Chain A
Amino acid sequence: VLNRRCVEAAVMTGLALNCSINKKSLFDRKHYFYADLPAGYQITQQRVPIAVNGSLSYSLCKDNKMSQMVTKTVRIKQIQLEQDSGKSLHDDTRNQTLVDLNRAGVGLMEVVMEPDMCCGEEAAAAVRELQLILQTLGSSQAVMAEGQLRVDANVSVHHPGEPYGVRTEVKNINSIRFLAKAVDYEIQRQIEELENGGTILNETRAFDSKLGCTVPMRDKEGKQDYRFMPEPNLPPLILYDAKSLPANMNHQQVVNIDWINERLPDLPSVKRAKLVERYGILPEHSFALLNEDGLTEFFENVVKQTRMKPKKVIGWILNVLLSYLKQHSLTVKESPVSSVLMADLLNLLEKKEISSTAAKQVLAELWKGEGKTPLEIVKEKKLELIQDQEELEQICQAVIDGQENE
């Protein structure tokens, strides 16, 4: 039985990726034997999937410099609904496989991309953007480490101008970082193989994260014949829009594409543009803000509570706070310094009561999370900027006198 939420999520994702939504899509059976597929077949959409012909735009830092960002696009071939299989855990020591069937039969959405990417970095950036989009839509929490987002990379090489080479499929990639590594490794492996006069087999390989390489996967013996056939238990999936809405159908049974389209939240690219426009920050700043969960909210909260200009605040958030968080492997939610404390600190700086250097010292103290306010720390450590002209002259004179005595 098809779950309505799956259909809605697929439509939302299709719309967000600029796809054409097929108002009529069909289900098929894909037959193969494996311990984690108890029925011996998987229900999927091979003939007519729910969405086709979309695109995904993503940004790359040119030459690793944040200031030079390029926008690239990868075409989306299709999005299809299908069933998940169970989870296999390979126990090589006891020569057995342990199968967990809890997720078998649960709905999956497969996004198929065209081969428009040319290296690990591009693949990683594209998938990262897809991840952010899925999280924004609520289609998936897309955490790769938990298998909520799974990526299989298809890699091939060819000389410019020549047709695409034989591709291999790389599985078992558990993070965005590993995706880039796996793709780059496989590209290198294929180039070396061909340069040594070898050939590339159309095979499935697994990425070994410990060794940083790909290895042939056992069990992909020969060419599989999946004997696709229409799924007899599921009639075609019909989607409606404002024009084709049937008059007397149960609401719960109707999925209205236009209704969903009207309720799409702001996609990451739109959010970034709005941040740039509203706060006058640079595109690469908004990119960095969206890249860290909760950072945008933190930034906006600080801006609300301080007189310091957003263009200056962003520096403190991205260069100082973020690096502290990274150093201590903390998420924004776990930050010992709240947006309130941060705003207080920046206010002291803005009012010129402390210097920039002093502010950094105060932040280091705040990081200890001992509950003191920025003002308390400033007083405690006597970090106030001296405003009194006479006092300053006395100090300078003392230093000069001290020098003369040497």
Chain B
Amino acid sequence: QAVTVEVLDRLEQLALVDFRDAEGVERLRKAVRFAAELQEVNTEGVEPMASVLEDRCLYLREDDVTEGNCTNELLKNAREKVEEYFVAPPGNIPLPKLEERETFLKGS
């Protein structure tokens, strides 16, 4: 699967990353090639591992209130607020389409 401009464009939209320049894109391509080496390993009959910590015990906490009452602290983070609500635009503001964006990808 080639890392095409379409794929890069989609990644920029989905993850809001910015492939700033040729170096950024090349780094991504190298990373994909490196990860692809994993395909060479024979994993037949082997359970996939999600993380090196997967044998650890999942800690279950008691259903007790241990923190909170920090409304003012949290609201300090708000650029704009109304009573105790954070104010946000009416919906997601999507990234402009490739043609209208200031991105290195346009040139490629």
Contacts and interface: CB of A to CB of B under 8 A. Distances in A.
A35 B86 contact: yes
Contacts of A2: 58-61
Nearest to A6: B63
B54 A235 contact: yes
A44 to B, nearest CB: 15
Interface size range of chain B in the complex: 20 to 34
A35 B86 CA distance: 9
B50 A3 contact: no
Interface in A218-262: 218-219, 221, 225, 227, 230, 232, 234-238, 249, 252-253, 255
Interface stretch (A15-23, A57-65, A97-105): A97-105
Interface stretch (B22-30, B38-46, B88-96): B88-96
A34 interface: yes
B2 interface: no
A26 B58 contact: no
Interface in B18-68: 50-51, 53-63
Nearest to A219: B91
A105 to B, nearest CB: 12
A113 B87 CA distance: 35
B86 A101 contact: yes
A96 B87 contact: yes
A216 to B, nearest CB: 13
Contacts of B59: 1-2, 253
A3 B55 CA distance: 19
A5 B53 CA distance: 23
A35 B88 contact: yes
A5 B16 contact: no
A99 B85 contact: yes
Interface residues of A, number: 39
A34 B88 CA distance: 10
Given A227-B15, A236-B54, A100 B84 contact: yes
B94 A99 contact: no
B56 A235 contact: yes
Nearest to A35: B88
Given A33-B16, A96-B90, A1 B61 contact: yes
Contacts of B85: 89, 98-100
A4 interface: yes
Given A26-B50, A230-B51, A235-B53, A97 B91 contact: yes
Nearest to B61: A1
Nearest to A27: B58
B51 A4 contact: no
A236 to B, nearest CB: 6
Contacts of B87: 96-99
B54 A95 contact: no
Given A26-B50, A230-B51, A5 B92 contact: no
6 contacts: A96-B87, A96-B88, A96-B89, A99-B86, A101-B86, A238-B57
